[in-house]
């Protein structure tokens, strides 16, 4: 099921970003998915699927944004490698 969320965005924001509504929406999806992943609200697979990219690419973008991909414990390591 697909849901659409509408937000108000002042034209000044789009102009300052040299963006249009479509590109701004994509930026918001990316930033939101990274935030939710960092907060352990969604998995990397869910985020990647939402963004229409492969999981490795999403993990790379999340890591660049400061996400901690693995804690220093065996459980996290085993869980992550089982998804590959």
Considering only residues 62 and 75, tell me which one the structure prediction assigns the higher pLDDT: 62
Could you report the per-residue pLDDT of 20-33, keeping only the tens digit for each?
Answer: 999 999 999 999 99
pLDDT at 65: 93
Across 1-39, b (16+ Cβ under 10 Å) vs e yields eeeeeeeeeeeeeeeeeeeeeeeebeeeebeebbeebee
Token pair for residue 65? Answer: 């944004």
Q: Does pTM top 0.75 for this prediction? A: yes
């Amino acid at each position: 099921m697909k849901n659409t969320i509408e937000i108000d965005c002042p034209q000044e924001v789009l102009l300052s970003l040299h963006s249009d509504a479509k590109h701004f929406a994509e930026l918001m999806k990316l930033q939101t998915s990274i935030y939710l992943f960092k907060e352990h609200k969604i998995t990397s697979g869910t985020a990647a699927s939402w963004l229409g990219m492969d999981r490795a690419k999403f993990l790379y973008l999340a890591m660049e944004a400061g996400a901690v991909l693995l804690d220093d414990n065996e459980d996290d390591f085993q869980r992550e490698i089982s998804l590959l």
